[in-house]
Amino acid sequence: MSEERIETTKSTLEAADHIPAEKKSELLGALSKIKPGIARVSQTHSEHARSIAKLVEASTQEATRKEKQPEHLKKLLQELKESAGKFEASHPELVSSVTEFSTVLSALGI
């Protein structure tokens, strides 16, 4: 399930023709780092992994909308960071890639 959400997120990013190629490339790069991190977390915490994947997908959909709702995006990104932050000690690479992804998405939501 988590992998499907990440693939849906990737498709959403690739289809967003209003996002500059440079930003799209940054997002896809960060997403490619998130995917294995979620896979590792899902081995021991499957529900948390699904939650992180769901938040990645939802925040991407919000950030790539043509009519943006910055407050909603901000809330989703905060939830994403908090959810991933629970794994700071055990999976720091996931937290780092989620932070990178969130930062770029946040800039799109302005």
Tokens of 42: 């899902």
Taking only the tens place, the pLDDT of each residue in 31-75 is: 999 999 999 999 999 999 999 999 999 999 998 888 878 899 999
Rounded average pLDDT over 95-99: 93
Helices 21-42 and 46-63: crossing angle, nearest 10°?
Answer: 170
Task: Give burial (CB, 10 Å; 0-12/13-18/19+) of 1.
Answer: exposed
pLDDT-based confidence at residue 1 (cuts at 50, 70, 90): low
CA 64 to chain centroid: 12
pLDDT, position 66: 81
Encoding tokens for residue 89?
A: 């000690």
